[in-house]
Amino acid sequence: MAMNSTGRGDTRPIDTHQPHTATGQITTFTANRGLQIEEALIFEQGQRGRTAVDLPEPPAIKSRLGSVKPRKDIGLPGLSEPQVIRHYTRLSQKNFAIDAGFYPLGSCTMKHNPRLNEAMARLPGFADIHPLQPISTVQGALEAIDSLAHWLLTLTGMAAIAMSPGAGAHGEQCGMIAIRAALEARGDKRVRVLVPESAHGTNPATAAALGYVVDSIPATADGRVDLDALKAKLGPDVAAIMLTNPNTCGLFERDIVEIARLIHEAGALFYCDGANFNAIVGRVRPADLGIDAMHINLHKTFSTPHGGGGPGAGPVVLSEALAPYAPASAVVKGPNGFTLVEHAEGESFGRMKAFAGQMGMFTRALTYILSHGADGLLQASSDAVLNANYVLASLKDVMSPAFDGPCMHEALFDDHFLKDTGVTTLDFAKAMLDEGYHPMTVYFPLVVHGAMLIEPTESEPKESLDLFIATLANLAARAKSGDAAHFTGAPRLTPRRRLDETNAARKPVLRWRPTEVLDEAAE
Amino acid sequence: MRYLPLTGNDRRGMLARIGVGSVDALFEDVPKSAWRSQPIEGLPSHAGELDVERRMKALAAKNLPAGSVPFFVGAGAYRHHVPAAVDHLIQRGEFLTSYTPYQPEVSQGTLQYLFEFQTQVALLTGMDVANASMYDGSTACGEAVMMANRVTRRSRAILSGGLHPHYAEVTRTQARWTNFTAVDASADIDGNEDLAALIDGETSCVVVQNPSVFGHVRDLSSLAEACHAKGALLIVVVTEIMSLGLLSPPGEMGADIVVAEGQSIGNALNFGGPYVGLFATREKYMRQMPGRLCGETVDADGRRGWVLTLSTREQHIRREKATSNICTNSGLCALAFTIHLSLLGEAGLARLAQLNHATAVTLADRLAKIPGITVINDSFFNEFTVRLSKGAAGIVEELATRKILGGVPVSRLIAGKPALDNLLLVAATETTTQGHIDALAAAFEDIL
């Protein structure tokens, strides 16, 4: 999930010349630092005419390109295969990753990505089939989709599912369109959507894109939806509520059944953001909470890899009332095998995306689910919650928990413990980088000042959590001891130190240009 | 369970520190009515790797892989050879298991390849700037129309009859539910539609695909002029990005926004996803672009580096005022794209595109000789439309029983138009051999 930069202030580099530990000080001729190699852009390396792909001479033909002019210079560099391999290998070494270390990025569920999932997705029977080849030749693919759908429906207790959305935010849009379609089908023009202050930014963005007025509901002092405020906002013009559960503070909305009742009583529908489903898989079925639609981030809960920011998949489960409005394409099981409904029929609201969905993500998620089984999924969610509470309990006296009581799968702290230290949440996060950790999500949710949202996931062993806890306790003590410079100058040991985001946005450079073009522009 | 490191002993010790007797106690906020003390029924238990592999392979075995038969299916997804280096590199854990580069100091690998990707897309499309990718070509198309609506402050989009029907349907769905108008032209089978007459003072954009879904290749310069004369934008859609190795790019024809499906470079067919949407535009519209953007900057020591930038357009900052609700890109597919294109280079791409075209011309000339087949296209890149003497859907099924995947019946894309029933889209790429072409021709001669 996204982070928010509210309250983080100017990001221009500071502390350039501040003395720091000797480790960072050695200068080298190449500017490389041991295994960390400075790598030029691919455009600064290539030579004309070189290629890493050997292709046969095309047969002589009379070209049929009509009136279109043939392509002139594109400007792509030419490299051999060893150069390309080295380039991307070096780039990879500048990345933090789950495989390399603890990645407790709250709201993102950075759990282990089993390699069996990768291998299964690459079976030619899944990877090398075309979305428009005859249905009779893709029965196994449709069965795999149907099988995954069955698991997701059983785990959520819902009536129907739309498999095609390509990501969580895409799923939100799918679910909210279904809600709007259902309301309009009964002749009900409603204009407002209620969204808690703590919601992911995608929720208000989705509602607004569909033409709804977004009405924010405040949180209570204990981090839940303010039921009285909700009641006051309900009315005949409210179309839906968009609520994340467990919520973005890492807490279960204890009034959720009552919220669902109130929403339905007012004639509105209940959209649940399923980003945090990992906390409750196998333990709570969202249908039993009274929801009408919920997306499931397969790349979070069901461990399809995050891939540096996608691709994901966001299937949406729907209640009986919303089922008729689901978009194309849909897999249908019939007496003679599986079919694919490819055109929006009847009350279907349309199409979210070309073809039938993120098949490569479906095969990975199905592999993950078959590996875990019902018992393993329940154990995974239990361990995720246990790990988060262990971190919360272990750090409650040295950092400042945002709320009392146990949490779900993520532990939320505020920046109260850094008060008067001269260290901000951002500084604290950057110091974690030097310690070899990816920071938690910072400055989200917005309802907490200087938020730090830690989601360990079930993948982390206790030994790892203990070292993490000790590290954070040490950093907290260091901040309180008055060593602000350690934090404001961090990170020092990473491939790059703090980057100037302010100037990057002020004068955006979004692509490489050849030097001669730049020279011409300067003249 | 092989993925779960906690032991019973660990769990007991951790519960003791937390001060509760069981994990169940941590769920005290769950309403009693929704609480389940037992695992959900009717689902199997965990399984070892060997067992799972058997089950997944059994499912995979029920499909007919493209690479195992003569294969001519396209219509927005194309089977190309992907060099082994691509898949090797994208499976490096540092790429595969990282997330959005929120902490740029430890994400320079992802950020630098995104910057290179943006540059490649801009160069390929002939545009000024590109974003860090979209879910796929079809969703990029819908987003492009919404961007044109923002730029022009108008709300009427004209969709070409040569636009891929799934793309048109995605855009119409966006139109219907986000409150703008999408005007459909009728199916442009012959590739000679004239959209200029449809453009009026309310038109925000014209969306035209090149090559069209029927395969026709057109110079869009005059259409661009007609758009600009009325204050509308020209959006050019490319579903076969390989074609830009051979064809003058949309940017040179006057396009304002170019969106494309990037699957053809670096990515497998995957039964329709995940793919990678490309999105490029003019510099003046940069701040209206949806999606992630990577920009160049310097770090505290003055060294060049990269960050996500212009995020004030995005949902996590702007919330209900964001340009789009999009929160990710298609990172790993964009990486596959950029690695494959780096391997090809200018010379490789040009030759590969020429090879695709030449193979398709060979196929078209062979099919044109068969009684009962008329090749409709005068121009095409690597896919064209043929009119058969019989219904195309039945023929394709018949070909499948002979282990030939012969193309896409237009009726599968456009329902309820009997006049289109005999039309078939046929594609060839560098993976198509003379033996495949002979097999298809022989089968057609037998069936028709």
SS3 annotation, A87-119? HHHHHHCCECCCCCCCCCECCCCCCCCCHHHHH
Q: Which residues of B touch A60 (CB under 8 A)?
A: 358
Which of B166, B315, B349 comes nearest A76 by C-beta?
B349
The share of chain A scoring above pLDDT 70, in percent, equals 94
The angle at the Cα of A460, spanning A455 to A465, to the nearest 5 degrees, equals 80
Q: Residue B53 CB: number of other CB atoms within 10 A? A: 18
Cβ-based contacts of A436 with chain B (< 8 Å): none
A383 touches chain B (CB under 8 A): yes
Could you tell me which chain B residue has the CA closest to the CA of A150?
B43
Question: The domain B66-81+346-447: what is its CATH number?
Answer: 3.90.1150.10
Task: Choose among B321, B327, B343: nearest Cβ to A2.
Answer: B327
Assign B375 to helix, strand or coil: strand
> Are the C-beta atoms of B378 and B422 separated by less than 8 Å?
no
Sort out which chain B residues have CB atoms less than 8 A from A154's CB and list them.
40, 42-43
Interface contact flag, A351 B293, Cβ < 8 Å: no
Yes or no, beta carbons of B247 and A387 under 8 Å apart = no
Task: Decide if B258 contacts B241 (C-beta within 8 A).
Answer: no
Contacts of B392 in chain A (CB under 8 A): none
Which residues of B fall within a CB distance of 8 Å from A196? Answer: none
Mean pLDDT across B340-356:
97
Domains of chain A, by residue range, sit at: 118-370
B63–A360 CB contact, under 8 Å: no
Which B positions 289-318 lie with beta carbon below 8 A of chain A?
292-303, 305-307, 309-312, 314-318
The answer to whether the beta carbons of residues A264 and A290 sit under 8 Å apart is yes
Q: What is the mean pLDDT of residues B88-102?
A: 96
**pLDDT value of residue B311:** 83
Dig out the tokens for B267 from the structure: 């990515």
Q: Is residue B377 less than 8 Å (CB to CB) from chain A?
A: yes
Integer Cα distance of A312 and A362 in angstroms = 10
Q: Are A238 and A190 in contact (CB under 8 A)?
A: yes
What was the pLDDT predicted at A20?
A: 45
> What is the rounded (10 degree) CA torsion for B283, B284, B287, B290?
-70
Is it the case that residue B306 has pLDDT exceeding 90? yes
Other CB atoms within 10 Å distance of the CB of residue A435: 17
Chain A residues close to B368, C-beta within 8 Å: none
pLDDT tens digits, one per residue of B201-231: 999 999 999 999 999 999 999 999 999 999 9
- Write the pLDDT tens digit of every residue in A284-335: 999 999 999 999 999 999 999 999 999 999 999 999 999 999 999 999 999 9
Residues 461-480 of A with CB under 8 A from B: 461-462
| Closest chain A CA to residue B218 | A68
Per-residue model confidence (pLDDT) at position A517: 63
> How far apart are alpha carbons A343 and A134 in whole angstroms?
16
Beta bridge partners of B203: B156
Residue B281 pLDDT > 50, yes or no?
yes
- Is A136 in Cβ contact with B400 (below 8 Å)? yes
Q: Measured between beta carbons, which residues in chain A are less than 8 angstroms from residue B285?
A: none
Q: Up-side HSE of residue B250: CA atoms within 13 Å toward CB?
A: 34
pLDDT tens track for A156-189: 999 999 999 999 999 999 999 999 999 999 999 9
Of A96, A108, A353, the CB nearest to B107: A96
Chain B partners within 8 Å of A387 (Cβ): 6, 14
- Name which of B44, B106, B397 is nearest A374 (Cβ-Cβ): B44
Among A residues 253-272, those touching chain B with beta carbons less than 8 Å apart: 253-254, 256-257
Best residue of A6, A45, A71 to probe chain B, by most B CBs closer than 10 Å: A71
Tell me if chain A has a CB within 8 Å of the CB of B320: yes
Distance CA A30, CA B315 (A): 41
Q: Write the CB contacts of B217 (distance below 8 Å, at least 6 apart in sequence).
A: A65, A66, A68, B210, B211, B243, B247, B379, B380, B381
Shortest Cα distance from B43 to chain A (angstroms)? 6
CA–CA distance, B162 with A144 (Å, rounded to integer): 33
DSSP string for residues in B383-403: EEEEEESS-HHHHHHHHHHTT
pLDDT of residue A21: 45
Over residues B402-436, the pLDDT tens digits come to 999 999 999 999 999 999 999 999 999 999 999 99
Contact A503, B297 (CB under 8 A): yes
The kind and range of the H/E element at A513 are none
Of the partner residues A93, A211, A375, the one whose CB lies closest to the CB of residue B178 = A211
- For chain A, how big is the Rg over CA atoms in Å? 26
Q: Which residues of chain A have a CB within 8 Å of the CB of B75?
A: 132
- Judge: B246–A327 Cβ closer than 8 Å, yes or no: no
Cβ within 8 Å, pair B339-A151: no
Q: Tell me, yes or no, if A389 comes closer than 8 A to chain B by beta carbon.
A: yes
Structure tokens at A447: 């309802």
Question: pLDDT above 90 covers what percent of chain B?
Answer: 94
Q: Does A118-370 carry CATH code 3.30.420.40?
A: no
Domain boundaries, chain B: 66-81+346-447, 84-340
Query: How many alpha carbons fall within 13 Å on the CB side of residue B364?
Result: 26
Name chain A contacts of B97, Cβ cutoff 8 Å: 97-99, 110, 113, 305-306
Residues of B in contact with A52 (CB under 8 A): 83, 85, 342-345, 348
Q: Taking CB atoms and an 8 Å cutoff, what residues of chain A touch B252?
A: 69
B439 CB within 8 Å of a chain A CB: no
Q: Please tell me the distance in Å from B294's CA to the nearest CA on chain A.
A: 6
d(CA A389, CA A395): 10
The CA–CA distances, whole Å, from B174 to A87, A314, A326, B161, B169 equal: 40, 18, 14, 18, 9
The answer to whether A353 contacts chain B (CB < 8 Å) is yes
Contact residues, chain B, for A344 at CB < 8 Å? 169, 173
Is A374 in contact with B45 (Cβ distance < 8 A)? yes
3-state secondary structure A64-79: CCCCCCECCCCCCCCC
B268: chain A residues, CB-CB within 8 Å: 122, 127-128, 360
Class of B84-340 per CATH?
alpha beta
Question: Which residue among B63, B99, B322 places its CB closest to the CB of A140?
Answer: B63
Domains B66-81+346-447 and B84-340 share a fold: no
Torsion of CA B17, B21, B24, B28, to 10 degrees: -80
Cα–Cα dist B135/B155, whole Å: 23
Confirm or reject contact between A71 and chain B (CB < 8 A).
yes
Give the C-alpha separation, A472 to A370, whole Å. 36
Flag whether residue B368 sits within 8 Å of chain A, measured between CB atoms.
no
Angstrom CA distances, B230 to A156, A299, B196, B197, stand at 51, 44, 10, 11
Instruction: Band the pLDDT of B37: cuts 50, 70, 90.
Output: confident
pLDDT digits (tens, 9 = 90+) for A374-383: 999 999 999 9
CB contact under 8 Å between A374 and B320, yes or no, is no
Whether B80 has its CB under 8 Å from any CB of chain A: the answer is no
Instruction: Enumerate residue ranges in chain A where pLDDT < 70.
Output: 1-25, 516-523
A337 touches chain B (CB under 8 A): no
